[in-house]
Amino acid sequence: MPHTPTLSQPCRTVDVRALYCPMTSVHVRAQLDAMAVGTVLAVLVRDTVTAGNVSAMVRLLRHELLPSADPCRLLVRKC
């Protein structure tokens, strides 16, 4: 049976830990652009500064940041 993610489970993950700004945001936006509305993207970042930059871009694009226990793992619901 195929896996169906719940409302807060990511259906896709993008690892940008090896990238530097602005490429982190470029890669995250490309993933979000390819996803359906309502789906969740997990974003793995290297540090809290990068997390802040990516979070700002996500809010600017009007997507939703979901709670995550790991500050270097962002969960983004496409709106």
pLDDT at 5 over 90: no
What's the rounded Cα separation, in Å, for the pair 32 and 10?
12
φ/ψ of 12, rounded to 5, equals -150, 150
pTM of the predicted model as reported, rounded to 2 decimal places: 0.88
Higher pLDDT, 71 or 9: 71
| Alpha helices in 2-71, H assignment, sequence order | 23-33, 48-60
Domains and CATH numbers, the chain: 12-77 (3.30.110.40)
Confidence band, pLDDT 50/70/90 cuts, at residue 19: very high
pLDDT at 6 over 80: no
Which sign, positive or negative, has the C-alpha torsion 44, 42, 32, 47? negative
Tens-place pLDDT, residues 46-68: 999 999 999 999 999 999 999 99
Q: Mean of the pLDDT values across residues 5-14?
A: 77
